[in-house]
Amino acid sequence: MKIKALLAVGLTATSLLAMGACGSSSSSTSSSSGSTSSDEGGNKTLAVYAWAGEIPDSVISGFEKETGIKVTVDTFDSNETMISKLATGTSGYDIVEPSQYAVQLMVQRNLLDTIDKTKLTGFDNLNTKFVNPSFDADNAHSLPWAWGTTGILYNEKCTGGAITGWADMWDSKYKGKMYMLNNMLSAYIAGLQVQGLSATTTAQADIEKATTKLLAQKPLLAGYNSDNYADLVGSGDACIAESYSGTTAAKAVANNADVHFIMPSEGGTLWTDSFSIVNGTKNQTAAYQWLNYTLKPEVAALLTDDGSLATANAAALSDIKNTSLAESPAVYPSDADLAKAEFIVDPGTALTYYQDGWTKISAS
Amino acid sequence: MDRFVAWFCRIAFVFLYIPIVAVVVYSFNASEVSYRYTGVTTHWYAELFHDDRLLETLRTSAVVGVLASLVATAIGFLTAFALARYRVKGRAFFLGAIMIPLIVPEIVLGVSLLEIFSRAGIPNGLLTLVLGHVVITLPLATLVQMGAMTSLDPSLSEAATDLGANGWVIFRRVLFPLLRPSVLAAFLLSFTTSFSNIVISTFTSGVGTTTLPLRIYSSLRTGLTPELNALGTLLVLFTLAVIVLVGVRQMRRILA
C-alpha cells in the first residue's frame, strides 16, 4: 500500500513536471526568441506590462494577427510595484501602462521614452479632454488608453432616495451601511472635496483638515473596502460606497435597477491609464506598432465592449457595439458630471502629510 | 463537556470548509454577481478553458512550484543529513542561517532579491522566480527533513554496519527508505508555499512569468470574475486527488 501510494505520488509529480517542462519550454522559447530577434532588430515579440483587465484579449489577439508579433502581457497590482520593477533597468518590458501620476514619477526617473509623434497615425482620434494633460505636457511620454472616475455607488432601495454627493457619506442616517475605498489617496478625495478643498492639494493644513473629517466619518462606516463593495451595495448590505467607475460598477448597475453610480456634486476625480514606451526598449518598431494599433477607433472600442472600461479615444465611441455600456454613467459619466472632476496627480513631498493622516485614520 | 467539545469541533469544521464549499457553489452560479444565484451553469468553466492568459499564469505557477520545490527539497535533504548525522563545525551557525529567511519579513527578501538580480544583470524571469522561491521554501524543506532524521534510531545504521553494509548501501537500503515520507512531505509543503506566494513573486517575476496569485491579486482593481471560482474549484479537486493518492493514512503518518 505504502509503496503503491508513493509511486502514485511520484507519477503525479512527474506528470506535473512534464506539464511544467512543456510549459517552460514554450515560454522560454518565446522569451529567448524575443531577445535574439530584438538584437537583430527583427521585432517579433512585444512585452507589455499593464493593469489586469485593461487590455481585452481581443485587442491582443487582433494585434498579433495583424502584425505577426507575439505579445506577452504581465499584470501589476499597483503603480509602485510597476515602477520598482522598471527601475531595475533590466525588466525587459517594451510597453507599460502607468496611471497619470505614475507617468510624472517615471519621467522624473527617466524610465520612459519620448514618443515621436511623427511615427503615430491616429493621434487625432484621442478625446481632447485627455490630450496634453497636466501630468504629461503635450503627451510627450504617454498616450491615454483607459479612463475612469472615482464617484459614488449607491442602492436607492437602501438609501430611500437619491444621493448627490460626498456630504451624504457623513450622514449618520446611513451609519454602518457605508464603505470607503481602502486606498489612501482615494479616501482623501472625499475628505478634501466634501469641505470644498481640492483633491490634489499639497497644503499641510488642508490635508490635516481632511484627516480630521475622515476620522469623524470612520465611526459611521462599515469599513474601508476596495474588493467587494459593489456586491455589498448590489445586495443591499451596504447603502453607499465610494467607488471607481468601470467594470465592477457597471456590473453592479446592470444587475440591479436600484443601483446607481454618480459623480458627487463636490467634483469627484478622474484617472487615466496610458500607454508609454519603456526607456531602452529594443523593440522600438513593435512598440510604435502597438501604439498605432491601439489608437485605431475600432480597437479602442473593444476596451468598452470586452473590458467594460471607458476609452480615451473619441473616434471609438461610435464603434462601440454594446450601447448600454456606452450610455452607462458607471462607465461614461456625462461631460456635465465631469465638469468639476479633478485629475489626481503626484502629491510630491506632501505625500508624507497624507501618509501621517492615513496612519492615524487606520489606527483609530 | 464532551458535548461542548463535539459542538466546538463541528463549528470549527464548518468554519474551515465554508469558503471551499462556497467557491465550488459559486463556480456554477449563472449570475455574474455573487449575491444572487440565478441557476446552474458551466459557462465559467468554458470561459476559463478559453482564457489562455489566465491558464498561462497557472502553468507558470506550477512550473515554478515544481522546480523550486525540487531544488529546495534536494538542498534541504543534504543540509539536514549533514547537520543531523555528522559533527559539523559551526552547526549552530548553519542552523541559524537556515532559519533566517523564515524570520526576515518577506518584503525585505523580495526587495533585496530584486536589487541583487538587477545588479547581477539577470533579467527577471523563470530563473529569478525559481531562485526567489527556493529562498523561502528551503528553510521549510530543511526543517521537515531534519525532524525526521534526528528521530531516526541510530542503532539501525549500526546494525546495518554490523551486518557488513558500507555507507552507500546503508543510505540506499536503510536510511533513505525510512526518510522517504519526510522527503515527500518537504516537497509538498514547499510546493504549496511556492504556489501561493505573492510577495516574493512580485519582485522576481518578469516578462511572461506572471504567476497565478499575482494575476488574481492584480485583478482586484477591475473586479474578480466568477471564472476564478471555476479555477479555484479545479484546484480544490486537484488537491483532493493528491490527498487521496498519497493516502489519508500516509498523510497522517507524515504529519504526526
Tens digits of residue pLDDT in A160-176 = 999 999 999 999 999 99
Q: Is the predicted pLDDT of residue A152 greater than 90, yes or no?
A: yes
Contacts of B242 in chain A (CB under 8 A): 9, 12
Mean pLDDT of A261-266: 95
Q: What is the pLDDT of residue B253?
A: 67
CA distance B103 to B96: 10
Which segment of A10-14, A245-249, A340-344, B155-159 scores lowest on mean pLDDT? Answer: A10-14
Q: What is the pLDDT of residue A111?
A: 96
Which segment of A33-42, A324-333, B71-80 scores lowest on mean pLDDT? Answer: A33-42
Greater confidence, B219 or B67? Answer: B67
Mean pLDDT of B202-213: 93
Mean pLDDT of B231-248: 85
Q: What is the pLDDT of residue A74?
A: 94
Q: What is the pLDDT of residue B249?
A: 64
Share of chain B above pLDDT 70, in %: 96
Instruction: Please identify which residue in the block is written with the cell numbers 527556493.
Output: B134
For residue A345, give the DSSP letter: -
CA distance A21 to A11: 15
Q: Are B194 and B64 in contact (CB under 8 A)?
A: yes
The pLDDT confidence band at residue A41, using thresholds 50, 70 and 90, is very low
Tens digits of residue pLDDT in A115-150 = 999 999 999 999 998 999 988 999 999 999 999 999
> A212-232 burial, b if ≥16 CB within 10 A, otherwise e?
ebbeebeebbbebbbebbbbb
Q: Do residue A75 and residue B60 have CB atoms under 8 angstroms apart?
A: no
Q: What is the pLDDT of residue A38?
A: 41
Output the CA–CA distances (angstroms, integers) from residue B254 to A145, B66, B136, B152, B181, in the order listed. 53, 20, 21, 14, 6
The pLDDT confidence band at residue A2, using thresholds 50, 70 and 90, is very low
Contacts of A280 in chain B (CB under 8 A): none
* Closest residue on chain B to A83 (Cα): B203
Q: Is the predicted pLDDT of residue B178 greater than 50, yes or no?
A: yes
Where would I find the beta strands (DSSP E) of chain A?
45-51, 70-76, 95-96, 143-155, 178-180, 223-224, 240-244, 259-262, 269-277, 310-311, 342-343
Share of chain A above pLDDT 90, in %: 70
Q: What angle do helix axes B227-246 and B52-85 make, rounded to 10 degrees?
A: 30
CA distance A58 to A214: 42
Q: Do residue A31 and residue B202 have CB atoms under 8 angstroms apart?
A: no
Q: For chain A, how many helices (H) and strands (E)? A: 14, 11
Comparing CA positions, the residue from B141, B224, B218 lying closest to residue B184 is B141
Mean pLDDT of B3-14: 92
Mean pLDDT of B220-227: 78
Q: What is the pLDDT of residue B37?
A: 83
Q: What is the pLDDT of residue B192?
A: 92
Give the DSSP letter string of A296-315: SHHHHHHHHHHH--EESBGG
Q: What is the pLDDT of residue B254?
A: 63
Q: What is the pLDDT of residue A10?
A: 43
Q: Are A309 and B222 in contact (CB under 8 A)?
A: yes
CA distance A322 to B193: 43
Distance from CA of A48 to the nearest CA of B (A): 8
Grid coordinates belonging to A280: 531602452
Q: Choose the closest CB to A52 out of B121, B219, B249.
A: B219
Best of B116, B218, B234 to disrupt the A interface (most A CBs within 10 Å) is B218
Give the DSSP letter string of B83-128: HHHS--TTHHHHHHHHHHHHHS-HHHHHHHHHHHHHHTTPPSSHHH
Q: What is the pLDDT of residue A78?
A: 87
Distance from CA of A98 to the nearest CA of B (A): 14
Amino acid at A226: S
For residue A189, give the DSSP letter: H
CA distance A28 to A38: 15
On average, the pLDDT of chain A sits at 87
CA distance B234 to B236: 5
Distance of CA A146 to the CA centre of its chain: 8
Q: Do residue A251 and residue B222 have CB atoms under 8 angstroms apart?
A: no
Q: Is the predicted pLDDT of residue B199 greater than 90, yes or no?
A: yes
Amino acid at A327: E
Q: Is the predicted pLDDT of residue A19 greater than 50, yes or no?
A: no
Interface of A with B in 289-328 (CB under 8 A): 307, 309
Q: What is the pLDDT of residue A3?
A: 44
Grid coordinates belonging to A341: 472632476
CB atoms within 10 A of CB A283: 26
Contacts of A93 in chain B (CB under 8 A): 207
Contacts of A6 in chain B (CB under 8 A): 180, 184, 250
The pLDDT confidence band at residue A16, using thresholds 50, 70 and 90, is very low
Contacts of A51 in chain B (CB under 8 A): 218, 221-222
Q: Are A187 and A242 in contact (CB under 8 A)?
A: yes
CA distance A309 to A252: 14
Q: What is the pLDDT of residue A25?
A: 36
Q: What is the dihedral of CA B102, B104, B110, B112, to 10 degrees?
A: -130
Strand partners, A152: A242, A262
- Tell me the three state secondary structure of residue B51: coil
Q: C-alpha angle A130/A134/A139, rounded to 5°?
A: 60
Distance from CA of B93 to the nearest CA of A (A): 33
Output the CA–CA distances (angstroms, integers) from residue A267 to A133, A135, A261, A292, B230, in the order listed. 18, 19, 14, 33, 39
> B135-164 burial, b if ≥16 CB within 10 A, otherwise e?
bbbbbbbbbbbbebbeebeeeebeebeeee
Tens digits of residue pLDDT in A56-95 = 999 999 999 999 999 999 999 888 889 999 998 888 999 9
Q: Are B84 and A31 in contact (CB under 8 A)?
A: no
Q: Do residue B121 and residue A235 have CB atoms under 8 angstroms apart?
A: no
Q: What is the dihedral of CA A108, A138, A245, A331, to 10 degrees?
A: -160
Q: Choose the closest CB to A9 out of B36, B217, B246.
A: B246
Distance from CA of A244 to the nearest CA of B (A): 9
Q: Are A328 and A262 in contact (CB under 8 A)?
A: no
Output the CA–CA distances (angstroms, integers) from residue A189 to A69, A201, A207, in the order listed. 41, 10, 10
Distance from CA of B182 to the nearest CA of A (A): 12
Asked whether this complex has an ipTM greater than 0.90, the answer is no
Could you give the domains of chain B? 53-224 (1.10.3720.10)
CA distance A262 to A151: 6
Which segment of A338-342, B85-89, B95-99, B127-131 scores lowest on mean pLDDT? Answer: B85-89
Q: Choose the closest CB to B53 out of A57, A93, A234.
A: A57
Q: Are A246 and A330 in contact (CB under 8 A)?
A: yes
